[in-house]
Amino acid sequence: MSGVIFRLTALAFICALALGLMHLKTKPCILANKKAYALKQLQSVIPDRSVEFIAIGDAVFEIREEQVLIGYLKEITTEAGYNGEIKLWLAVSLDNKVMGARVTQHNETPGLGDDLDIAVSDWILSFNDQKLETIRWAVKKDKGDFDQFTGATITPRAVVAVIEKALSANVNKDVGREVKNGI
């Protein structure tokens, strides 16, 4: 009996050793990958400009171009999607204009509601350079200016609403206040 226990323990020890070594070897590389991936996701929101992102809070970044503050990047979430939560990054300039938006996570139906994904269609680009006053913030079915998707109105409606909400709350002022209050 004790022989059996010894053998299992020895095997467990060897396995643990292998995993530990691999973990130590790969850890720096995986961390670097994670950082690079996160940065790539941020940069994809504003692909045409070379900007820097400085974290100033939880999922809030200052966007700086040549050290000058030009806007804020913030993660926003809506529960109003057809299949639950939709997460997106929204970049807003100092004069409250959309610099870019990208959906990072959604469960919308493939082929119907996933047109909000930049990999599937260009729809999300229609928010670029819009301000609260420059466009009617609703889908066409609701007498707005944004296209809905064939067979899926709920998804674009949710995204339009959450971006409008973020703009009207004036993302920048919010961010500023949050930072001052140390939140």
Binding site for other proteins (CB under 8 A): 4, 7-8, 11-12, 15, 18-19, 22-23, 26, 29-30, 33-34, 36-37, 109-112
Phi, then psi, of 46 in degrees rounded to 5: -125, 75
Strand partners of residue 29: none
Q: In this complex, which beta carbon is closest to other proteins, that of residue 18 or of residue 132?
A: 18
Nearer to other proteins, 106 or 130 (CB): 106
Query: Which residue's CB is nearer to other proteins, number 37 or number 140?
Result: 37
Helices (H), the chain: 2-43, 154-168, 171-180
Shortest CB 154 distance to other proteins, Å: 17
CB of residue 114 vs other proteins: minimum separation in angstroms?
9
**Taking the complex as a whole, how short is the minimal distance between the CB of residue 39 and other proteins, in angstroms?**
12
Residue recorded with tokens 């050793």: 17
Q: Of 48, 77, 79, which Cα lies nearest the Cα of 63?
A: 48
Q: How far is the CB of 63 from other proteins (least distance, A)?
A: 24
Q: To the nearest 10°, the Cα dihedral for 107, 91, 53, 25?
A: 10
Toward other proteins, which CB reaches closer, 2 or 181? 2
The candidate with the shortest Cα–Cα distance to 132, out of 178, 98, 85, is: 98
